[in-house]
Chains A and B, each alone.
Chain A
Amino acid sequence: MAVTLDATGTPDLGAFLRPEADGEASLDLLVTGARCAGCIAKIERAVGDLPGVSNARLNLSTGRLGVRLDSRRIDPVRVVTALQDLGYGATPYDPGAARVQHDREGRRLILALAVAGFGAMNAMMFSVPVWAGLFGQELGPATRTLMMWLSGVVGAPCAIYAGMPFFESAWRSLKARKANMDVPISIGVILTLLISFSETILQGRDAYFDAAVSLLFLLLIGRYLDHVLRARARSAAGDLLALQAPTATLIDDQGRERIVPLGDVRPGDRLRVRPGDRIPVDAVLEAGTGLLDNSLLTGESAPETVEAGRTCRAGAVNLSGLITVRAQARSEDSALAAIARLVEAGAQSRSRYVRLADRAASLYVPIVHATALATFLGGWALGLDLREALLRAVALLIITCPCALGLAVPAVQIVASGRLFRLGVLVKSGAALERLAEVDHVVFDKTGVLTEGRPALTGGDPALVARAAPLARASRHPLARALARAAGNGPVAAQVTEHAGLGVEGLIDGRRARLGRADFVGQAAAGSGETELWFAMEGEAPERLRFSDAVRADAADTVAALRRRGLRMEILSGDLPGAVEPVARAVGIDRWRAAQTPQDKAAAIDRLAAGGRRVLMVGDGLNDAAALSRAHAAIAPGSALEASQNAADLVLSGETLSPVAAAIDIARSARRRALENFGFAALYNLVAAPAAMLGFVNPFVAALAMSGSSLVVTLNALRVSRRR
Chain B
Amino acid sequence: MTILLFLAPASVVLGLGAVAAFVWSLRSGQYEDMAGGAERILIDDDDAPPQ
Q: A residues near B, CB below 8 A?
A: 36-37, 40-41, 58-62, 107, 110-111, 114-115, 118, 121-122, 125-126, 143, 146, 150, 154
Contact = CB atoms under 8 A, between A and B. Distances in A.
Given A40-B39, A40-B40, A114-B23, A126 B8 contact: yes
A60 B36 contact: yes
B26 A58 contact: no
Interface string B13-51: 001101100110010000011111001111111000000
Given A37-B43, A41-B44, A60-B36, 17 more contacts: A37-B42, A40-B40, A40-B43, A41-B45, A59-B32, A60-B35, A60-B39, A61-B34, A110-B26, A111-B26, A114-B19, A114-B23, A118-B16, A121-B15, A143-B1, A154-B12, A154-B15
Given A110-B26, A121-B15, A150 B36 contact: no
B6 to A, nearest CB: 13
A59 B39 CA distance: 11
B37 to A, nearest CB: 8
B15 A122 contact: yes
Contacts of A122: 11-12, 15
Interface size class of B (residues with CB under 8 A): 20 to 34
B4 interface: yes
Given A37-B42, A122-B11, A146 B36 contact: no
Contacts of B15: 118, 121-122, 154
Contacts of A62: 33
B5 to A, nearest CB: 9
B36 A40 contact: yes
16 contacts: A37-B40, A37-B41, A37-B42, A40-B40, A41-B43, A41-B44, A59-B33, A59-B36, A60-B35, A114-B22, A114-B23, A118-B15, A118-B18, A122-B11, A146-B4, A154-B12
Interface of B: 1, 4, 8, 11-12, 15-16, 18-19, 22-23, 26, 32-36, 39-45
A121 B35 CA distance: 29
B23 A61 contact: no
A36 B16 contact: no
A562 B43 CA distance: 46
Given A40-B43, A143-B1, A125 B36 contact: no
A61 B15 CA distance: 31
A115 B18 CA distance: 10
A143 B22 CA distance: 32
A61 B36 contact: yes
Given A59-B32, A107-B26, A115-B19, A125 B11 contact: yes
A58 B36 contact: yes
Contacts of B23: 111, 114
A60 B41 CA distance: 13
Contacts of B45: 41
Contacts of A40: 36, 39-40, 43
B33 A60 contact: yes
- CB-CB nearest 4 A-B residue pairs: A60-B36, A37-B42, A37-B39, A59-B33
A61 B26 contact: no
B44 to A, nearest CB: 8
Contacts of B16: 118
B32 A36 contact: no
A143 B36 CA distance: 50
Nearest to A118: B19
Nearest to B22: A114
Contacts of B33: 59-62
A122 B19 CA distance: 12
A121 B16 CA distance: 11
A259 to B, nearest CB: 27
A61 B43 contact: no
